[in-house]
Structure 1
């Protein structure tokens, strides 16, 4: 029989409803009876004890809010009676000991990856087209149409056939989509963006570092880069950014500047000839065995619900710990969603310098948000709130579970590239696509993405594995969900057992045996962060 409520941490003074609860229902918990005051939807919280105005509210063992009105024992927590509150952190106060999980059965496991000359190993092999400035987006789109038409032989998909039949007033049997590839070992991807000019110079420099990170990412075999010529993000700025993170770059990077090449026709002709030859050569690269220590896994959550911090995120956390124990890399980002858990993360930093850098980045980020007339407390979305995440600290405490318990080996600002195996903190917004985009730019060759509401986010060069916090979502949106952790909520699997399943799935995706749902849907999302306010 499934439990109806759960207390996540021993010191919490709230309970999470695992199922819908009805008014006046009496639930036995820890040798006491709790009468539910009003109807409570699954994923929402009820008070374990009467909370007076100003009383602090704890969940996941940390401060997540304070009562703005009296909440009776058994009463539901809402945005009306609870306000965001988080603990203030000023410095590292201690060191947290870590006992790695037992990973003996995984030590000799390998994945089939694409080995790069700099020692990195890709889980995909991509030739990437991108512009340095938005003025070239049109040409990128032209090239995308040309290359995809010739390198991917596609029949009309079912939706095209449906519209065609409606136009012709002939609704009949629909032809199913079918795709064949000219090259087996290389994918060709295209990204566009609204940056590179028109903003402050720092925005262009930040974009240069991000794009350089995409070239260095082990999933990329080489790139075709388009420049207009007069924009802020000059070719030399991009080249310096690439040299800074990859001083001995061996990947081919084909550069074209429209204002130096004459007509669009002349430029496209040159690009197509040279790029095709390079893509054909990159297709010769084949997968070979690599240790799991070569995995660099981004940890993301989006469209979170009240179960995310109980099932999906802790599963990612234990998987992260397993990967770290194997010598691999994990990346935890979304700094607005670490608000309230800073002390734990600071104390987990191996080096004092990184602890100070983390706090400095957090404080600067929060100040920029406050200066714009907002605050981290505005981070939960309407969907988050509807499904039980009513304060930023509550959302953050659950989101931080993705990072497991391992030591923090490095803290990176946006656009910096991963250099140390282990758990890394990366400064990004909480926006799903901006954060995922940034982690891939810092070297992630796999991204694990949890969701409780359903988010179809993907990435053009890195497989994104979507993890649902509940089984209802996995059934309802089966086309976007790869792994369902609803078994944890029902008590059918432990976090540890679910993590074993997840790691096996990661190895299969990294080896090309399984395509993530986001990849199958061609969900190639790419949004750079303009270093203003973005939550």
Structure 2
């Protein structure tokens, strides 16, 4: 008797994320002509589908919505048959308005049982707790950038090896500070970002360097700023100090005065409720919303349950999923503030001749993401399930406990600069294609969404979330691993970004508005 060959189950090569989805996400390269059996019937793959991409498991007529995560990720630009590869050639933007509800699905993570968890941090006089002990050289204007770098360079290498409690001397330089329209949104944004870095709890020693004729003078970055009494602060103005060489000599002297003071500061136990976690993603792929991002969401919920603060950002990358966040807002006012920022971004991108759907990068698309809706639905998973307690402007200090949101661009260095300005003392950065970002003075933990990227860039990654796809790990177990990693790094463990000394050049404040 001739045996009938068994058709393999679709689950061997693809994941169906929600029962009503029209697509599955491939977990391996699937060749054209392959046949599988799904819950909806047979699936014959029409053409090769790369791993991380979408495979149609239901027919969709042209103009109809295509669903993934149980949500619309776009509309079919032509008829899609079962077994088709679903991507840019047959899937476009869905411009339909979404219904926004407020405070309908608020969740407060249950208070954890067991003893209070602690990390080893630097207690500041204003009550905040730092995870690092840096001397930061902050520039008032681009004209003082080279001078700041020259000062910091004198303390590179083994110079500080004798000082166990001094993490380094960093030059935080930027390309603005002059030519701004006084009182404009752009000028205020730059000033706010710089002042927020000046007050950051990971910076225990502060040297502000200006030129002397800039629109944002060095003194303006400190005037009225309520800095803790134990923060070492110095100011130098190049024109008043006799030029670059004289200012470098004076700056080196100032830093040498601070170092012994910082060395007396010791790590001491602090409850993890004092942690502020920044969450960002970059080089996203088709697995981001399935593995690393929801796992980070688990870690965020765990921290919030312990009384800590977490910050989600990248406003262009929540567009299309903002309705999921407004439902979690603690009030209609908080939800509407998020919607106001979305509307601002629509106008902002339109004024430049684009739209928010321009956001998915070529790398995102190569990794399987097609529209901003699909990217956003995966990106908001970083925020877990906790209620949204507050929405902040770019670079504004975050003072609310719990899960919060900050308005930032999607461009990684600019976004993370805003998050750190807000007070993040640890950052977790998820990536599918691979990222090499650092963000001094805050340590950055890299989580790969798939094992292939983790193995290829093993020397740049801290954690691998790829086991969620192959079944060797769960979202919850990887989330717990991220949670424990955050506590360890907050206590002094050095992630890869710090081992590679990354983070000075990634200080990139958002530049907005006219330059005169």
Find the counterpart in structure 2 of residue 368 from structure 1: 348
Find the counterpart in structure 1 of residue 496 from structure 2: 517
Q: 1:377 aligns with which of 348, 351, 357?
A: 357
Residues in 1 aligned to 2:229 and 2:319: alpha-carbon distance in whole angstroms: 37
Aligned to 2:441, the other structure's residue is in SS state coil
| Structure 1 portions without partners, runs of 5+ | 153-180
State whether residues 22 and 38 of structure 1, in contact with CA within 8 Å, keep that contact through their aligned partners in structure 2: yes
Q: 1:191 aligns with which of 168, 172, 177?
A: 172
Gap change, CA 1:322 and 1:135, over 3 Å in 2: same
CA deviation map 1:146-191 (0-9, x unaligned):
2225724xxxxxxxxxxxxxxxxxxxxxxxxxxxx13110122112
Moved more, 3-12 or 34-43: 3-12
State whether residues 190 and 460 of structure 1, in contact with CA within 8 Å, keep that contact through their aligned partners in structure 2: no
Residues in 2 aligned to 1:3 and 1:190: alpha-carbon distance in whole angstroms: 51
Deviant stretches of 4+, over 6 Å: none
CA deviation map 1:3-54 (0-9, x unaligned):
3111222332211111111112122222522111111111000112111110
Q: 1:211 aligns with which of 181, 190, 194?
A: 194
Q: 2:143 aligns with which of 115, 118, 135?
A: 135
Residues in 1 aligned to 2:228 and 2:306: alpha-carbon distance in whole angstroms: 28
Residues in 2 aligned to 1:147 and 1:79: alpha-carbon distance in whole angstroms: 50
TM-score, normalised on structure 2? 0.93
Aligned to 2:417, the other structure's residue is in SS state helix
Residues in 2 aligned to 1:320 and 1:303: alpha-carbon distance in whole angstroms: 21
Find the counterpart in structure 2 of residue 69 from structure 1: 78
Find the counterpart in structure 1 of residue 3 from structure 2: none
Residues in 2 aligned to 1:473 and 1:101: alpha-carbon distance in whole angstroms: 34
State whether residues 103 and 330 of structure 2, in contact with CA within 8 Å, keep that contact through their aligned partners in structure 1: no
Instruction: Verify: 1:235 aligned to 2:218, yes or no.
Output: yes
Residues in 2 aligned to 1:359 and 1:90: alpha-carbon distance in whole angstroms: 12
Find the counterpart in structure 1 of residue 5 from structure 2: none
Residues in 1 aligned to 2:287 and 2:253: alpha-carbon distance in whole angstroms: 51
Shift of 1:220: 1.2
State whether residues 102 and 331 of structure 2, in contact with CA within 8 Å, keep that contact through their aligned partners in structure 1: no
TM-score, normalised on structure 1? 0.90
CA deviation map 1:482-504 (0-9, x unaligned):
00011111111111111111111
Spell out the pairing of 1:477-496 with structure 2 (5 A cutoff).
477-496=457-476
Shift of 1:90: 6.8
Gap change, CA 1:468 and 1:284, over 3 Å in 2: same
Shift of 1:393: 0.7
CA deviation map 1:373-425 (0-9, x unaligned):
00110000101001100111111110111011110000001121110110111
State whether residues 205 and 233 of structure 1, in contact with CA within 8 Å, keep that contact through their aligned partners in structure 2: no
CA deviation map 1:406-462 (0-9, x unaligned):
100000011211101101110000001111111000000000000011110001200
Aligned to 1:64, the other structure's residue is in SS state strand
Q: 2:241 aligns with which of 253, 256, 261?
A: 261
Instruction: Verify: 1:473 aligned to 2:482, yes or no.
Output: no
| Structure 2 portions without partners, runs of 5+ | 1-8
Gap change, CA 1:148 and 1:509, over 3 Å in 2: same
State whether residues 58 and 81 of structure 2, in contact with CA within 8 Å, keep that contact through their aligned partners in structure 1: yes
Residues in 1 aligned to 2:242 and 2:427: alpha-carbon distance in whole angstroms: 41
Alignment root-mean-square deviation, CA: 1.9
Spell out the pairing of 1:186-335 with structure 2 (5 A cutoff).
186=166, 187-201=168-182, 202=184, 203-240=186-223, 243=225, 246=226, 250-335=230-315
Find the counterpart in structure 1 of residue 60 from structure 2: 51
